Chain A
């Protein structure tokens, strides 16, 4: 008896169930989500990156940064990412809504970058450039395994060009950041996942939530909530 058609039907049924559950349903529900507006403060999240930072997404992708750096923060109950200062809340799918492509990463050979924009600001641009040119030149990173991205810069004899970066161990030379380098750093500074989202309300629960509703003690949560969103994560 030819059982091939039956096998085909069986395979089709099981696989299409999986396809529907993971692909179709995700696109239908998560893919149609709109930006979240906090009903109390009116703040909208996520917001699209402005020009240079958006170009930086392309540079990040093209350099394969996602091979070593993740951009996902685990919940307090799942890992110690938040305690390490890598974020104030866990990341959810909505955080990547406007990222094209979403550069989540799989392995941490380097620290998580989901909230690097909270740890480094516009004052740290030169430090970031130096980190890219030679990660081992940064204090604390002497044994870093991160590759050198010197080719994103143009190396010249030092001539006092504004915006040029001078490395401590090469005082006679200056590195002019290329457009790619500038975009990449602008992108890094824009990386923040601390906006309010429905799926991860602040303050973050430490343990799996029990069935008791959390909103019973309102003044107490007000003081906790007062502390959480306004402090910056401790500098790493």
Chain B
């Protein structure tokens, strides 16, 4: 519960910061006198707080839930998990302050200052103790597919984080190696940690919420192993200072990733079949459906962008940001929202004050679509302008950043409002459970 609450708080902060950052592009003199609010730092805060404050914490919370449920056991060491979450939040706060005061690192997804990283790793390890103990004591011996994905994500995350910690801030590792490791770690962080937990969530909730069984075990096995195999070297082709093999391998694995993604999608859609109309309006289910659609979309768009002529045009544009947001803000966030909507009432033994989630659902969908659409279209415009040598650089960037950045700005503001609504809903939930109100309908 703590994790869910704090993760959504951080999400809200991240979205607000993102909105401010884009606003500063539209009008650079806005808040120009405050060094802590310069654009570079705001972008770093937005990305870092999203990944570590919201996404990782949400993933950790949902992973614990899945282990408990699928292992048919109760959570062991809940105090330990809470301690881990507190340490984690401390790390994120330290990082937040650190970046704003200028102590940021230039590697995407690893922009927290060096001081924050050990705190995060410690928090995760403490949490991991609880996760391992719970997993160990599971009574259900056979592992449902979601549990494989959870297992994978939980193992990979500390590995990636430790690697990044030891290389990116190390005095021994040269500047020629650090960007390669940062790129690998950053892509793997999204695909093999957040992506894994996101997939686990969808694999669990889609059958669960519709009361059916997952269509095919064999497809799930296929999807699991090939997703891991291909995702770990994908997404690294949009850079220009690395040996040829990195770009080549990344291009083909990004395209190959379509196949296991199609397997996952087939599994999900065959599971759903014809869904009962009333069930189809349950918010958790709708979030999950959107998340699965975002996932397929993100893989397909990424594969398209990996083709060499397309990559040549879209490298170094805001398209890449949009693509990252498609995975992060679209697929992962929606799967977490759906999970929270379902899990939190069960954890607090209470009812949502506003069970329809209309503001949150609609707002998040519209907001996410605006942000992602704005950035991707803006990137296409920017890329096509860059192809021409006669276009003035400032004009080219402006033609993309102003109109499409503006769309994304609206998106961020709408998303922010939706999260505030969600937070109020959660606040109501916690109050209900503290006050010990009984479920009226029992």
Give the interface of A toward B (CB within 8 A). Answer: 1-4, 7-8, 10-12, 14-15, 18-19, 21-23, 26-27, 30-31, 33, 61-68, 70, 72-75, 78-81, 83-84, 90-111, 135-136, 140-141, 143-151, 199, 236
B269 interface hit (Cβ, 8 Å): no
Is the CB–CB distance between A80 and B38 below 8 Å?
no
B239 interface hit (Cβ, 8 Å): yes
Is the CB–CB distance between A64 and B43 below 8 Å?
yes
Inter-chain contacts of B33 with A (CB < 8 A): 150-151
Q: A147-B32, A151-B34 are in contact. Are A79 and B312 (CB under 8 A)?
A: yes
CB of B24 to closest CB in A, whole Å: 6
Query: 27 A-B Cβ contacts within 8 A?
Result: A1-B141, A4-B143, A7-B143, A14-B228, A15-B155, A15-B232, A21-B233, A22-B184, A22-B246, A27-B181, A31-B173, A61-B106, A64-B106, A72-B239, A79-B240, A90-B240, A93-B241, A96-B175, A97-B176, A99-B175, A101-B105, A105-B106, A108-B386, A140-B392, A143-B395, A145-B397, A147-B24
Is the CB–CB distance between A64 and B38 below 8 Å?
yes
- A107 in complex: contacting residue of B24, B35, B171, B318, CB < 8 Å: B318
- B312 in complex: contacting residue of A10, A19, A78, A148, CB < 8 Å: A78
Give the CA-CA distance A141 to B392 in the complex, in Å.
Answer: 10
Q: 12 new A-B pairs (CB below 8 Å) besides A70-B316, A106-B239, A147-B28?
A: A1-B141, A11-B152, A14-B225, A96-B174, A97-B174, A101-B105, A103-B106, A104-B241, A108-B397, A109-B318, A145-B398, A151-B34
Q: A80-B389, A106-B108 are in contact. Are A74 and B315 (CB under 8 A)?
A: yes
Number of interface residues of B (CB under 8 A): 79
Is the CB–CB distance between B177 and A107 below 8 Å?
no
CB of B51 to closest CB in A, whole Å: 15
Q: A104-B239, A107-B316 are in contact. Are A23 and B389 (CB under 8 A)?
A: no
Within 8 A of A (CB), among B142-188: 142-143, 148, 151-152, 155-156, 159, 163, 167-168, 171, 173-181, 184, 188
Give the CA-CA distance A62 to B38 in the complex, in Å.
Answer: 10
Give the CA-CA distance A107 to B323 in the complex, in Å.
Answer: 13
Inter-chain contacts of A74 with B (CB < 8 A): 240, 315
Give the interface of B toward A (CB within 8 A). Answer: 24-26, 28-29, 32-35, 38-44, 102-108, 135, 141-143, 148, 151-152, 155-156, 159, 163, 167-168, 171, 173-181, 184, 188, 192, 225, 228-229, 232-233, 238-243, 246, 312, 315-318, 320-321, 386-387, 389, 392-395, 397-398, 401-402
The residue of chain A having its C-beta at the shortest distance from the C-beta of B30 within the complex is: A147
CB of B158 to closest CB in A, whole Å: 12
Is the CB–CB distance between A83 and B35 below 8 Å?
no
Task: List 3 tightest A-B contacts by C-beta distance, closest first.
Answer: A64-B40, A102-B175, A62-B102
Give the CA-CA distance A11 to B188 in the complex, in Å.
Answer: 14
Is the CB–CB distance between A93 and B180 below 8 Å?
yes
Give the CA-CA distance A145 to B25 in the complex, in Å.
Answer: 5
- B155 in complex: contacting residue of A8, A109, A144, CB < 8 Å: A8
Is the CB–CB distance between B106 and A31 below 8 Å?
no
Is the CB–CB distance between A26 and B175 below 8 Å?
no
Give the CA-CA distance A63 to B42 in the complex, in Å.
Answer: 10
Inter-chain contacts of A18 with B (CB < 8 A): 184, 188, 232-233
Inter-chain contacts of B35 with A (CB < 8 A): 63, 151
Is the CB–CB distance between B242 and A68 below 8 Å?
no
Inter-chain contacts of A67 with B (CB < 8 A): 39-40, 43-44
Is the CB–CB distance between A145 and B28 below 8 Å?
yes
CB of A207 to closest CB in B, whole Å: 13
Inter-chain contacts of B393 with A (CB < 8 A): 111, 236
Give the CA-CA distance A79 to B383 in the complex, in Å.
Answer: 11
CB of B26 to closest CB in A, whole Å: 8
